[in-house]
Amino acid sequence: MVAFGGILTLELRAENLIPTAPGTAPDYFCTWNVQGYVLSYAPKKLRDAMTEENMFGSGKYQNWTGFYPRIRSDLYFVMDDSWDVDFKNYDYGADLLNPARFPTYASSGTEQEKFRKLNAAVQAKGWRAVGGWIAANKAKAYQDMSDHDFYAERLKWMEAAGWGYLKVDWGSNSKSEKWRRQLTEWGHQYAPNIYVEQAMIWSCVPFSDVFRTYDIEAITSIPVTLSRVCDGIKQVAEPGAKGLINCEDEPVIGAALGCAIGIMRHPFVGNLPDGQQDYAFPPVARDLKRCVNEVERAVLWHRVAPPFRVDGQANIDDVKLNDSWCFQEREGWSTKTPGKWSRNSAPARITRGGLPLPTVKVESGEAPFVIASRHPNGVLTVATLGRTICASPTDRKYGTPLADITLEAGKLTDPIGIFGHYQTLTLSFDTPMKGRKVLAQDILDHQAKDITAQVVIKDNTITLPGKLIDRIGLEKADHGDKSDPGMVISILDAK
């Protein structure tokens, strides 16, 4: 029994609303920021950390393949710049496992066998598969080899070895749409089970497997990422293209707007080893490294509602919300000048999958960002996102304004994902709700409970109080984690 307002309510236990099998979304953890962290972001040294010792070792800042135990079966482990680079000669684009960095796996055997041994070791730690960052060019040592022969050879080796992901970044061809298109086509031809991620050029979205919204400051990430995702979802995928947007380290956006996720945050919290503040993930605003549960909830939600391809169909609000932040010392990897203001705007409301824009009412002051999607499998997801509001260099706040939000959801489908904070959330359907039963659970939980008596059912609507969303959506939160709530509900015929 549990008491609410003096009334005793029996909590009826029910099934788990989240599948137990790993998902198929091309989500990943990327090593770039942990590479920087362990070397205190020493100039020109970040690449030196990309070694097997750091990936598998047991030292204080090692065992990277031990990260994210709850969800790593759903994730690719993407080694960033420079798993293939010689320590002494930074010549990018060899795309071969470097024996100096990976002596256990690359000291003997064919190149394909080396790739296979490393992938097997990563999978033995529970990850979906290994992946790698690659430069947008081949190394100088291979200039006599045609691009086709060079990439076809490596793609075949990686495919046979079970690799899962290639993150194509900067290089001499990074701004060439033609080159990126050709590499994607070779990927489909020679490595059909490997995702080839592109970036930088928006015209690449239609033919890409995945297109990444690219490097963003942690503090200003919500409005900047939302703005870039809007640029991406306006595109239309070409026939045969997966056409997914990767919203990088904004997992709730990924969950609610049907985007893939590229996790950059890692569990090494606090100052850098040299004692300075970690400027990639500063302990202000959201303090992202202490928001691990939101990553876990979003990745688990992709088991229910996987990301979906761009089709040009989205409702994007003409009204924009304006965020601001006055950066202080070591609060950004790019914005390094103390006292510099950053002002960013993004649409107040965004929906995909044919949903109308939600109604958002606040008593006074600012509103939250509100996003939602009807996924191709019919599943509904809705989220609120917080705001960075800076009135002066000494008056800086992050938070989610509470609002009464109504979403005209149309057809009742099951289940429904809810992320963020609300005053109330009302879901309106095209069928009467009388006699329905409502189950709910924290996405991190394994068993739902009956919350029918705690919601308001009227005509075609169900209204959830914000405090209920907070309670259920944080029920399994880890101690000290600062993530917003994330829950799932199932609306059933009580009969």
Are 358 and 407 a contacting pair, CB within 8 Å?
A: yes
Domain assignment of residue 227, yes or no: yes
- The residue-averaged pLDDT of 74-80 equals 98
Q: At what angle do helices 147-161 and 111-124 cross, to 10 degrees?
A: 40
Long-range CB pairs of 470-476, under 8 A, 24+ apart, other chains included: 470/421, 472/440, 472/441, 472/442, 473/418, 473/419, 473/442, 473/443, 474/442, 475/441, 475/442, 475/444, 475/445, 476/293, 476/442, 476/444, 476/445
Q: What is the pLDDT of residue 5?
A: 35
CA distance 23 to 74: 5
Token pair, residue 97, equals 């496992």
Number of domains observed in the structure of the chain = 1
This prediction has a pTM of 0.95
Candidates 198, 208, 299, 312; CA nearest to 255 is 299
CA angle 15, 301, 229 (to 5 degrees): 160
Q: Give 246's contacts (C-beta < 8 A, 6+ positions apart).
A: 26, 197, 210, 211, 212, 213, 254, 259, 260, 261, 262
Range of the domain at 52: 28-301
Beta bridge pairs of residue 351: 315, 372
pLDDT value at 491 more than 90: yes
Q: What is the DSSP string of 101-130?
A: T-HHHHSSS-HHHHHHHHHHHHHHTT-SEE
C-alpha to C-alpha distances, 277 to 40, 45, 263, 271, 317, nearest whole angstrom:
9, 18, 20, 5, 37
Helix H or strand E encompassing 256: helix 251-256
The answer to whether residue 327 sits within a structural domain is no
CB atoms within 10 A of CB 100: 12
Give the model's pLDDT for residue 495: 64
pLDDT band at residue 44 under the 50/70/90 scheme: confident
- CATH number reported for the structural domain that contains residue 240 in this entry: 3.20.20
Query: Is residue 225 situated within a structural domain?
Result: yes
The CA distances from residue 467 to 13, 304, 458, in Å, are 21, 25, 19
User: Per the domain annotation, does 287 fall within a domain?
Assistant: yes
| In the chain, % of residues over pLDDT 70 | 97
**Does residue 224 lie within any of the structural domains?**
yes
Mean pLDDT of the chain: 95
- Average pLDDT score over residue span 411-428: 96
Is residue 89 over pLDDT 90?
no
Does residue 358 surpass a pLDDT of 50? Answer: yes
195-239: per-residue pLDDT in tens? Answer: 999 999 999 999 999 999 999 999 999 999 999 999 999 999 999
Encoded tokens for 454: 């705690």
CA distance 284 to 198: 31
Q: Is position 353 within any domain?
A: no
User: Which one, of 248, 238, 187, 259, lies nearest residue 215 by Cα?
Assistant: 248
Percent with pLDDT over 90 in the chain: 93
R_g (Cα) of the chain, nearest Å = 23
Identify the pLDDT of residue 9.
38
- Tokens 């996405």 belong to residue: 443
Q: Given this model, what pLDDT does residue 12 score?
A: 43
Residue bearing the bigger pLDDT, 250 or 88: 250
When pLDDT is cut at 50, 70 and 90, the band that residue 411 belongs to is: very high
Distances in Å between the Cα of 212 and the Cα atoms of 15, 82, 218, 249, 375 are 36, 19, 16, 10, 20
Q: 293, 247, 288: which is closest to 419 by C-alpha?
A: 293
Q: Mean per-residue pLDDT for 306-333?
A: 96
Mean pLDDT for 46-63 is: 96
Task: Enumerate the β-bridge partners of residue 346.
Answer: 321
Asked if residue 7 belongs to a domain, the reply is no
pLDDT score recorded for residue 45:
86
Residue 231 has which token pair? 């640029």
pLDDT of residue 43: 85
- 70 DSSP 8-state letter: T
133-186: pLDDT as tens digits = 999 999 999 999 999 999 999 999 999 999 999 999 999 999 999 999 999 999
Residue 339 lies in a domain: no
**pLDDT surpassing 70 at residue 4:** no
How crowded is the C-beta side of 491, counted as CA atoms within 13 Å?
Answer: 26
